[in-house]
Each structure stands twice: as structure tokens, then as C-alpha cells.
């Protein structure tokens, strides 16, 4: 038996981990057996990702109940593997170095659990490249379950994330990543949120009981495949949020997913983008380009099965002329659609009543955009899609595309300007703050213009507020404390926000 805290000799790669451990595959052997990280053939290179198949070259560090995961990270060197055994770990884990693997070990159905107690903001927060986080249970955080800030070649898999705040899994400004075989529920915004990232696969996850199940925002070259999305307000979303430094969402494949009964009431924060999602929405594309929707099962979504729309649907939108508002070159190929639109709401309900109908469509396009097509439209109940061409299936099908990730690890920022990595204030603002604060409108929190009016030439006071905020607005939720940021980072964020001009 390995003694707690002992560092062992170099070990081989831990492979792709365990898909929810005993929950899916049952116990193995006699009592006391552990779940091996390489024992299940389903995970032995099943993703086919070159960057994820690299072998560990470092030490193995063991963490057991009562010890600190963060202490293990602090002592680790690039290439090390940290194995965390069952227990409850009440901490936030920061990973600001490269090539660290954090893997949970499930023993007789007992998981290593990170519990934020309803007070901590994040469970895992990483900024290094080549980070793997797998096989953890995460619950009771206020902000995020797993959040990445400009980390490339990330792997987040096999985790169970319950009631973990605003976002469950949230990589941002990352290139070359895998989010696979996770289960997420009870998330107040998006369970899986791919933000301003390139070359990401989102595979075989289960998301339910969230506002948004899977959300692809201002990201490019993304594959969303084999996921189960149900009982969310919206199942799978592909869209653009204006006012962010990356202005586009394109080259997204939504394929082979089971999207059903996404009829949950919308409990998103007032002013947030997801607060605009009508309950009962299966798949929604808003201003995304070159999106292919293929071979999904989409059923029993009360409002609409597939909604193609523009930024005009938003009640308020940041004034960003560089964010083109329409969805262009959307292709809807073979999909099985059953019993969608049974109880339309809001504007769609009014539209249906105006047409002397009470049932919503399988597929709706609210207008705008060019180059759209649908294969065999007569199989579906469609609305406002007269301008769609008939798809050339051979030209549009994505069957030959196995992955959107790259074969080799990458370096450098996804953002076109290297200043994003060099300017800690800019990077931290867009990675942490921009999800809640836009320049000229209120999202979840006040606009940047309002913040500038309050703090004017006092960045120190703003930095102090970031560390220990209090609720001061009736129309906005209390801001979670960002007390994990160093005083230098908080001051850099304050300086950047107060100097922002658009």
C-alpha cells in the first residue's frame, strides 16, 4: 500500500481515466478494490487525441483524506501525477504550473469530493498548459467547478459536478482541449461552457437540471458529440456574446447527441445571456457561423427542437459593431425529431397563435444570415425557413471528422494579441470578470461604465472590493469574492477596467 504523502518513481500515463467510476460500471473484485485509471478499455485511447496520449514523466504524489490537494500541487513539478483518494476536501485548488495531472481514485464507490460549503468560489482554477483534472466529485461552490484561464491542451473528464455555482466546467482562452464523460447538474448558468477557445471536443457528457446544458461561446473548431442533455432550460447552445475580445463563433459540429425534455424553468441571473433562453429549447444557434447539426435525437422539447436566430433575440445587447449578429452557413442534416413544440412560450407562442396554431415547430429560424440549408425539410415541422436551400449531404456531412483537437500540444494564446498573456489585468478581466460585466450594459453585474463612474480614479478601492465585495444593488446578485487573486492581480484588473474604452 502506498503511504499518504509519499512521492513515488515516475509512472506511465494515467490514460483517460474512469467514466464516473463505479456509478456506471459497478464494483470489481472483492471488497477494498480500487478503480484503476487504466483498467477500463473504453478509455484506453478512445478519444484518439494525440496531445492527450502523452506519457507522464514525473513523480506520483498521493493525497488522502485530511491532507491538502493544494499542498500537493505546490510541491509538484511539471510531469507529476497527483492521485487523490476518497475524502472531503474543503478547498480551492489553484494550478499555475504546466503539465500537472490531478486524478481522483474511486474506492468501493467512494469518491474524492471537493466541497465548497456554499462559501468558496471555485473548486479547481488552472492557468497552466497540459493540465488534466479527472474523477472528482465537486459540489457546493459559488462560482465554478473547474475553470481554466488561458491554459492549452487541457483534459477535464470523468467528474461529477453538482450545485457548483454559475458554471460547472469553464475553460476560457484555451486551445486544444477535451471535456468528456462528466456529469453535471444544478448549475445556474452553463454546465459546460466553452468560452473563447479553439479546437475543443465535448464528448459523452451528461447534463441535466441546469439553465444551459452545453454552451459554445465565441469559440471556433468545436465538436459536440455523444452527449445527453435533458431537463435543462436549453440543451445545447452555440452563440456569440458581443463585447468580448474574440468576436466569432464558427466551425462547430453538433452531432450524435440525445437532446430531450429540456423544459426546466429558467433560473439564470437576470441580465445574463442565458436568462433570455426560452424554456423548452433543444438546440439553439445564435449568431454562430458554419454550424452543422447532424444525427441528433431531439425530442419532447416544449418550445422548439432547433432554434436558429440572431443577436436581435436579446433583450439588451452590448454595442459591438465587430460582432456580426446573424447565423450564416448553418446546415441541418439528418436528425430524428419527435414531439417538439408541444407548449411554446413567449414570442413563439404569440407567433403560433397569430397563425391560428398552438403547437410550436421542430425547427424555427427567426431570420437573418445567408448560406443556410436543410436536408429533406419535409420530414420536419418548420417555420420561417423558406429561404433554406436543400443541403448537399456529401458536401456538408461531418462523418470524416473524428476530432477538432490537434494531434500535438500547442503553446501560445488563443487570442490574436500576445498582450492577452502578457497583460495580467487584461487576461484576468476577460477570464474572470467578463462573464458578468459588459462595457455598456448590465449583464449579471453592473456595466464597466457604471464601475468607472463609481471608482473613477481610485483603482485601489476597486481592488479592495474585488477581494471582499458586499451586496449593494437590488437588481444584481451578490458578487462572489475573488480573494484568491493576489493583490497585484486585483490591482491590475482594476487598472484595466478603469481604463477600458469599449
CATH number at residue 488: 1.10.760.10
Where does a domain end: 155, 177, 203? Answer: 155
378 and 310 in one domain?
Answer: yes
Higher model confidence: residue 448 or residue 227?
227
148 and 225 in one domain?
Answer: no
Is residue 429 in some structural domain?
yes
Mean pLDDT of 430-449: 77
| DSSP-assigned states of every residue in 278-315 | PTTEEEEEES-EEEEEES-EEE--SSEEEEEE-GGGSS
242 and 214 in one domain?
Answer: yes
pLDDT of residue 323: 81
Per-residue pLDDT band for 158 (boundaries 50, 70, 90) equals very high
Is residue 161 in some structural domain?
no
182 and 144 in one domain?
Answer: no
Where does a domain end: 414, 431, 456? Answer: 414
22 and 124 in one domain?
Answer: yes
Is residue 389 in some structural domain?
yes
The pLDDT of residue 193 is above 80: yes
Number of domains forming the structure of the chain: 3
| Segment 90-120, tens digit of pLDDT | 999 999 999 999 999 999 999 999 999 999 9
The pLDDT of residue 294 is above 50: yes
Contacts of 482 (CB under 8 A, 6+ apart): 121, 432, 466, 467, 490
Is residue 240 in some structural domain?
yes
343 and 285 in one domain?
Answer: yes
431 and 403 in one domain?
Answer: no
pLDDT of residue 314: 66
Q: Are 222 and 289 in contact (CB under 8 A)?
A: no
The pLDDT of residue 370 is above 50: yes
Per-residue pLDDT band for 149 (boundaries 50, 70, 90) equals confident
Mean pLDDT of 162-170: 95
Per-residue pLDDT band for 191 (boundaries 50, 70, 90) equals very high
pLDDT of residue 46: 39
370 and 230 in one domain?
Answer: yes
pTM: 0.85
Is residue 160 in some structural domain?
no
95 and 213 in one domain?
Answer: no
pLDDT, mean over the chain: 85
Q: How many helices (H) and strands (E) does the chain have?
A: 9, 35
The pLDDT of residue 273 is above 80: no
148 and 202 in one domain?
Answer: no
Spatial distance between the Cα atoms of 165 and 324, rounded to a whole number of angstroms: 30
Is residue 358 in some structural domain?
yes
Per-residue pLDDT band for 322 (boundaries 50, 70, 90) equals confident
pLDDT of residue 434: 75
Q: Which domain holds residue 490?
A: 420-499
pLDDT of residue 424: 80
Q: Are 298 and 305 in contact (CB under 8 A)?
A: yes
Mean pLDDT of 147-158: 94
Higher model confidence: residue 105 or residue 36?
105
DSSP SS3 for 389: strand
Per-residue pLDDT band for 69 (boundaries 50, 70, 90) equals very high
Lowest mean pLDDT among 22-26, 161-165, 397-401, 481-485: 22-26
**Backbone phi, psi, residue 121, to 5°:** -85, -50
Lowest mean pLDDT among 11-25, 40-54, 278-292, 484-498: 11-25
487 and 344 in one domain?
Answer: no
The pLDDT of residue 237 is above 80: yes
470 and 410 in one domain?
Answer: no
Where does a domain end: 354, 379, 414? Answer: 414
CA distances, 123 to each of 65, 113, 279, 286 (Å): 16, 10, 29, 30
Mean pLDDT of 240-244: 85
Is residue 140 in some structural domain?
yes
pLDDT of residue 2: 34
Amino acid at each position: 500500500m502506498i503511504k499518504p504523502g509519499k512521492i513515488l518513481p515516475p509512472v506511465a500515463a494515467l490514460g483517460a481515466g474512469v467514466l464516473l467510476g463505479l456509478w456506471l460500471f459497478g464494483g470489481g473484485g472483492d471488497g477494498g478494490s480500487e478503480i484503476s485509471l487504466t483498467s477500463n478499455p473504453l478509455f484506453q485511447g478512445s478519444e484518439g487525441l494525440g496531445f492527450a496520449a502523452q506519457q507522464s514523466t514525473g513523480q506520483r504524489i498521493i493525497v488522502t483524506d485530511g491532507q491538502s490537494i493544494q499542498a500537493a500541487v505546490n510541491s509538484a513539478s511539471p510531469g507529476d501525477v497527483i492521485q487523490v483518494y476518497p475524502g472531503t476536501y474543503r478547498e480551492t485548488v489553484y494550478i499555475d504550473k504546466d503539465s500537472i495531472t490531478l486524478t481522483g481514485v474511486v474506492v468501493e464507490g467512494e469518491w474524492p469530493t471537493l466541497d465548497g460549503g456554499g462559501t468558496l468560489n471555485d473548486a479547481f482554477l488552472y492557468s497552466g498548459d497540459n493540465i488534466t483534472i479527472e474523477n472528482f466529485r465537486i459540489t457546493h461552490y459559488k462560482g465554478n467547478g473547474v475553470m481554466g484561464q488561458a491554459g492549452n491542451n487541457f483534459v477535464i473528464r470523468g467528474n461529477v459536478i453538482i450545485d457548483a455555482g454559475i458554471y460547472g466546467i469553464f475553460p476560457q482562452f484555451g486551445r486544444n482541449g477535451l471535456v468528456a464523460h462528466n456529469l453535471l447538474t444544478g448549475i445556474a448558468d452553463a454546465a459546460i461552457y466553452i468560452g473563447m477557445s479553439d479546437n475543443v471536443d465535448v464528448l459523452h457528457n451528461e447534463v441535466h437540471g441546469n439553465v444551459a446544458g452545453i454552451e459554445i461561446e465565441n469559440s471556433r473548431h468545436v465538436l459536440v458529440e455523444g452527449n445527453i442533455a435533458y431537463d435543462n432550460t436549453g440543451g445545447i447552445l452555440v452563440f456569440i456574446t458581443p463585447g468580448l475580445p474574440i468576436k466569432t463563433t464558427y466551425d462547430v459540429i453538433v452531432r450524435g447527441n440525445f437532446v430531450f425534455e429540456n423544459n426546466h424553468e429558467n433560473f439564470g441571473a437576470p441580465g445574463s445571456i442565458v436568462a433570455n433562453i426560452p424554456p423548452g429549447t433543444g438546440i439553439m444557434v445564435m449568431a454562430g457561423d458554419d454550424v452543422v447539426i447532424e444525427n441528433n435525437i431531439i425530442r419532447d422539447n416544449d418550445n422548439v427542437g432547433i432554434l436558429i436566430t440572431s443577436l436581435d433575440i436579446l433583450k439588451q445587447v452590448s454595442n459591438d459593431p465587430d460582432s456580426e449578429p446573424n447565423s450564416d452557413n448553418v446546415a441541418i442534416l439528418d436528425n430524428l425529431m419527435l414531439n417538439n413544440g408541444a407548449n411554446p412560450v413567449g414570442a413563439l407562442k404569440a407567433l403560433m397563435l397569430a397563425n391560428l396554431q398552438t403547437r410550436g415547430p421542430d425547427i424555427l429560424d427567426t431570420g437573418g444570415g445567408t448560406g443556410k440549408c436543410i436536408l429533406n425539410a419535409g420530414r420536419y415541422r418548420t417555420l420561417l425557413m423558406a429561404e433554406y436551400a436543400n443541403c448537399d449531404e456529401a458536401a456538408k456531412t461531418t462523418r470524416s471528422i473524428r476530432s477538432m483537437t490537434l494531434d500535438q500540444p500547442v503553446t501560445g494564446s488563443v487570442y490574436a494579441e500576445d498582450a492577452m498573456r502578457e497583460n495580467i489585468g487584461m487576461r484576468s478581466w476577460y477570464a474572470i470578470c467578463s462573464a458578468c460585466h459588459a462595457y455598456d450594459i448590465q449583464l449579471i453585474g453592473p456595466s464597466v461604465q457604471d464601475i468607472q463612474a463609481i471608482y473613477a480614479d481610485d483603482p485601489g478601492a476597486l481592488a479592495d472590493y474585488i477581494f471582499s465585495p458586499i451586496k449593494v444593488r437590488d437588481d444584481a446578485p451578490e458578487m462572489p469574492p475573488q480573494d484568491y487573486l493576489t493583490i497585484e492581480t486585483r490591482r491590475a484588473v482594476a487598472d484595466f477596467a478603469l481604463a477600458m474604452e469599449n
